Chain A
Amino acid sequence: MRNTYRLNRTIVLSAIVLELFGAVLSVHAQTLPEGTGRAAFQRICSVCHSVNVVTSQRMTRAEWSGVVNDMVSRGAQGTSRELDAIVNYLSTNFGKGDVSPTGGGQLSEPAEQPAPLSGLEIAAAKKLIQTNGCLSCHRIGEIGSYIGPDLNDVGSHLSADQIFHALTSPNNMVQPDNRTVQLITHDGQRVTGRILNQDGFSVQLIDSSGGLKSFEKATLHQFATVTTNPMPSYATKLNNEDMRIIVRYLVSLREPGV
């Protein structure tokens, strides 16, 4: 039992410890550094444990990726994008060694940087995307719809292999954060959009033209979440060469600066 909070000697010792490990300790003593992924990290990880369990560590990107995957297997609940953002956030702020995206172990394991596409190949890929109607749901550059996932950074999240599978067997299980909601307002207006957020009382969505809309569920005449994937399979619609070009093109679409 000790009855005083600390002895003078301890204060001196603390000061030395503080100086030696100032950088590490400042993480405990201050709020989390700003950055993309911080909110997701706080929200998803603090359900089970203190975030400082995590931020007292220094790990490589591959190691952080392993930790986040591990936590997913224990029940951490977040979208793929949120989990990727957490890995990025942790490796940037609490990393060691090579923290670049190619430092290995990103959750969705983007493929090693492929050879750049030629101008002809890019033109061919863009034409394929146009003729196959991809942009009626997706968005590339400033063109297309907002109803499906934005493809401008798809290469940061999915590997060539994953993109190939998404094109050839878009199974019935659409990623939950990409689900479509369909609703009818009290005055009969029909709205379809991609779900952004919801709670028991309200729902937030983005419609095909990029309109951000929020509705009180109690005012809706009808509300439904579509859990199946509206995307058709392109397994037989594209020949091997076209498939190869379109996959390579999509892999090349990366988030700037990541």
Chain B
Amino acid sequence: MNLRVLALFAFLTGSVQAQVTFNRLLHANQEPQNWLTYGGTYASDRYSLLTEINRNNVKNLQLKWVWRPTTTPADEKMENTPIVVNGVLYATSLTSVVALDAATGREYWKLSRPFNPEDFHGQRMYLVNKGVAIEGNTLFWTTGWSDHLLAIDARTGRVKWEVEAADWRKGYQLDVPPLVVKNVVIVGPATDDMGANCFLAAFDIHTGKEIWKTYTSPNSADDPAAKTWAGDTWKHGGSPVWNSGSYDPETNLVFWGTGNPNPVSNGDQRSPGSKFDNLYSNCVIALDADTGKIKWHFQFTPGDEYDYDATQIPVLADITWQGKPRKVMFWANRNGFFYVLDRQTGEFLLGKPFIKLTWAEGIDKNGRPIRVPKYWPKPMGGILVMPGSQGGTNYYPPSYDPQTGLFYMSVWDNYEGFSDKRPILPWKQMHMYTGDGWWPGFGETKPPADWPPPSAQRRLRRRASPNYKTEAEGYGAIRAIDPKTGEKKWDFKMVNYTESGVLSTAGGLVFGGGMDGNFVALDATTGKPLWHVYLGGANASGPMSYAVNGKQYIIGTGADTMYAFALPD
């Protein structure tokens, strides 16, 4: 190798170093000062190896900076987990992406994409954004209301390319954090019960060209999954994608959770007698990252009528399982069960309730729920069920700490809700298709004469509001379980419920929060609170951690605002 080639090699290596290559994404845990994906690593374990902030000094944490997106309209709550690359933090709101100095919060650039009225006709969607992905020097961001996927220059905020990843006119919304694998960026839309069949799609990271597309509800009668729907009800099966996925390089599989079948609350047409499974609703699906082909699937709640979305992010871990090393996936599901699956094959290994639930008695050896007959099919007119509509947990990302061996998550326990069931109104594009009655504003202007059911209404009006209620009336908690057994290890209980994700760190800490506005640091081994701060509104994002010049920071959110904490200088 002559000198010129050597110099060129050195130059290339240097410039490559500054970029987030696929190789860096594969080994994200080797650079704990950065936070390169929504879940921290491809395993989505939301575990930081940083130890500067630890059990002994966490009580000294100080506020370092605040970021409040001044967008219009303002986000309803901040669900964003930022990413950090070499001292630059990339955060998002519904209508903007910013690059901030991760040490001071000062802005380098901002890209705004205000609501385009043409793209937004009062469709039912969440005014939130969960975050961006990065590859090379390119960020990938989605606009929830127009279903666009944008590639953005991470140094300048310039848009490199932009595609319509889904058509909002069909009832889609797109607010997942994208996942980059090799040369593709993968996203998928949700439908908030408008009966649009959802999918995952991979786009070339350089051009935006669609490489593959795989439907989560059947796209044709020839799809084998169509047989799991009665008649042609698969045509408006929904099965939304609400969150990001995880990736296993060894098998080249991406894992993704899917949401409820449509109509959400009434299965009489799509699953008469609760006899049809309605694939791939409420599943984890394992897809080949290069082709999108589904290699295996596991369905948590077949033929669902209770909105038990598998909207969680899969957590991957390599553990010793019954004496042998095993590559597994942990999943605390909205339906109230905690699962362990073999991620290479989809084999069911464990299923155990992590909250009080009434709709099932347990899980059989194949992982199917043993259903309590009075809930299946759901009686017309509805029924009180545990967990209620928000589930035992929801979109809030959990964490796995290999040091303690514990799985941490946010839960709603002792939590009952009325799940309604009404005749199914005919499907209409961009209209609610729920089977639980009247959703105003989408064509139906008058409620049915007998709506809502008075008995349930009376009972629920007597229920406590979260800030006044007692623990017996339901509570939120950050909960640690032993993932090998599903046994609870500790609880940090809150008066109110929680929408916060959880971060664990090698400093022996767990960070999380609640709808009461408190952001807390807990002892990862005991759950004892070591520090807390009131952030003025619900914590609804996944906390994360990074370091700049050796100084560790913790990010938490309250209401629509992001806060960075660190030890005193």
- Whether the pair A49, B418 counts as a contact (CB closer than 8 A) is no
- Whether the pair A1, B518 counts as a contact (CB closer than 8 A) is no
Q: Which of A18, A47, A51, A78 has the most CB of B within 10 A?
A: A47
- Whether the pair B124, A75 counts as a contact (CB closer than 8 A) is no
Contacts A195-B468, A199-B516 known; A10 to B438 CB distance under 8 Å? no
Q: Is the interface of B mostly helix, strand, loop or mixed?
A: loop
Query: Contacts of B208 on A, CB cut-off 8 Å?
Result: 1, 3
- Whether the pair A69, B452 counts as a contact (CB closer than 8 A) is yes
Query: Contacts of A28 on B, CB cut-off 8 Å?
Result: 73, 115, 117, 120, 122
A53 at the interface (CB under 8 A from B): yes
Residue of B nearest to A58 (CB): B441
Query: Contacts of B457 on A, CB cut-off 8 Å?
Result: 69, 72-73
- Whether the pair B417, A75 counts as a contact (CB closer than 8 A) is yes
- Whether the pair A48, B465 counts as a contact (CB closer than 8 A) is no
Q: Kindly identify which residue among B73, B163, B420, B464 contacts A52, using a CB–CB cutoff of 8 Å.
A: B73
Query: Contacts of B529 on A, CB cut-off 8 Å?
Result: 201
Query: Contacts of A14 on B, CB cut-off 8 Å?
Result: 116-118
- Whether the pair B124, A53 counts as a contact (CB closer than 8 A) is yes
Q: Kindly identify which residue among B162, B389, B447 contacts A3, using a CB–CB cutoff of 8 Å.
A: B162
Residue of A nearest to B473 (CB): A176
B residues 31-75 with Cβ under 8 Å of A?
A: 72-74
Which of A59-67, A146-154, A241-249 touches B?
A: A59-67
Q: Kindly identify which residue among B162, B463, B468 contacts A4, using a CB–CB cutoff of 8 Å.
A: B162
A123 at the interface (CB under 8 A from B): no
Residue of A nearest to B209 (CB): A1
Number of A-B contacts (CB under 8 A): 154
- Whether the pair A3, B115 counts as a contact (CB closer than 8 A) is no
Write out, one digit per residue, whether chain A residues 4-42 have a CB within 8 A of any chain B CB (1) or not (0).
Answer: 111000100110011001000100111100000000001
Contacts A2-B163, A3-B163, A72-B460 known; A198 to B514 CB distance under 8 Å? no
Name the distance in Å between B538's Cβ and chain A's nearest Cβ: 8
Query: Contacts of B517 on A, CB cut-off 8 Å?
Result: 199
Query: Contacts of B117 on A, CB cut-off 8 Å?
Result: 14, 17-18, 21, 25, 28-29
Name the distance in Å between A188's Cβ and chain B's nearest Cβ: 25
- Whether the pair B420, A50 counts as a contact (CB closer than 8 A) is no
Q: Count residues on chain B whose CB falls below 8 Å from chain A CBs.
A: 68
- Whether the pair A200, B495 counts as a contact (CB closer than 8 A) is yes
B431 at the interface (CB under 8 A from A): no
Query: Contacts of B161 on A, CB cut-off 8 Å?
Result: 3
- Whether the pair B76, A50 counts as a contact (CB closer than 8 A) is yes
**Cα separation A25 to B118 with both chains bound (whole Å):** 10
- Whether the pair A74, B389 counts as a contact (CB closer than 8 A) is yes
Query: Contacts of A48 on B, CB cut-off 8 Å?
Result: 389-390
**Cα separation A69 to B529 with both chains bound (whole Å):** 38
Write out, one digit per residue, whether chain B residues 376-420 have a CB within 8 A of any chain A CB (1) or not (0).
Answer: 000000000000111000000000000000000000000001101
Query: Contacts of A29 on B, CB cut-off 8 Å?
Result: 72-73, 114-115, 117
- Whether the pair B417, A74 counts as a contact (CB closer than 8 A) is yes
Contacts A1-B210, A49-B192 known; A30 to B518 CB distance under 8 Å? no
B26 at the interface (CB under 8 A from A): no
- Whether the pair B164, A2 counts as a contact (CB closer than 8 A) is yes
Query: Contacts of A198 on B, CB cut-off 8 Å?
Result: 467-468, 495, 516
Q: Which of A25, A29, A83, A176 has the most CB of B within 10 A?
A: A176
**Cα separation A101 to B117 with both chains bound (whole Å):** 33
**Cα separation A70 to B74 with both chains bound (whole Å):** 26
Residue of B nearest to A59 (CB): B440
Residue of B nearest to A67 (CB): B440
Query: Contacts of B293 on A, CB cut-off 8 Å?
Result: none
Query: Contacts of B212 on A, CB cut-off 8 Å?
Result: none
**Cα separation A224 to B466 with both chains bound (whole Å):** 16
**Cα separation A38 to B514 with both chains bound (whole Å):** 21
A79 at the interface (CB under 8 A from B): yes
Contacts A67-B440, A73-B457, A77-B463 known; A6 to B118 CB distance under 8 Å? yes
Query: Contacts of B438 on A, CB cut-off 8 Å?
Result: 70
- Whether the pair A50, B127 counts as a contact (CB closer than 8 A) is yes
Query: Contacts of B244 on A, CB cut-off 8 Å?
Result: none
Residue of A nearest to B517 (CB): A199
Contacts A73-B418, A73-B460, A176-B465 known; A1 to B163 CB distance under 8 Å? yes
A120 at the interface (CB under 8 A from B): no
**Cα separation A50 to B145 with both chains bound (whole Å):** 12
Query: Contacts of B436 on A, CB cut-off 8 Å?
Result: 74
A258 at the interface (CB under 8 A from B): no
Name the distance in Å between B77's Cβ and chain A's nearest Cβ: 7
B residues 319-345 with Cβ under 8 Å of A?
A: none
Name the distance in Å between A178's Cβ and chain B's nearest Cβ: 9
**Cα separation A176 to B461 with both chains bound (whole Å):** 10
Name the distance in Å between B425's Cβ and chain A's nearest Cβ: 15
B211 at the interface (CB under 8 A from A): no
- Whether the pair B494, A199 counts as a contact (CB closer than 8 A) is yes
Query: Contacts of A83 on B, CB cut-off 8 Å?
Result: 461
B13 at the interface (CB under 8 A from A): no
B493 at the interface (CB under 8 A from A): yes
A169 at the interface (CB under 8 A from B): no
Query: Contacts of A17 on B, CB cut-off 8 Å?
Result: 117-118
- Whether the pair A53, B441 counts as a contact (CB closer than 8 A) is yes
Residue of B nearest to A199 (CB): B516
15 A-B residue pairings within 8 Å (CB atoms): A2-B164, A21-B117, A29-B115, A47-B390, A47-B499, A48-B390, A49-B192, A52-B73, A73-B453, A74-B418, A74-B420, A75-B388, A77-B466, A79-B468, A176-B463
The 4 closest A-B pairs by CB, nearest first: A56-B122, A199-B516, A176-B464, A176-B468
Binding site for A on B (CB under 8 A): 72-74, 76-77, 114-118, 120, 122, 124-127, 148, 161-164, 192, 208, 210, 388-390, 417-418, 420, 436-438, 440-441, 447, 451-453, 456-457, 460-470, 473, 492-496, 499, 514-518, 529, 532, 534, 538
Please name 5 further chain A to chain B contacts, defined as beta carbons within 8 Å, in addition to the given A66-B451, A72-B457, A73-B457, sorted by A numbering: A3-B162, A28-B115, A53-B124, A72-B461, A73-B460
Binding site for B on A (CB under 8 A): 1-6, 10, 13-14, 17-18, 21, 25, 28-31, 42-43, 46-53, 56-57, 59, 63, 66-67, 69-70, 72-75, 77-80, 82-83, 173, 176-177, 179, 195, 197-201, 225, 227
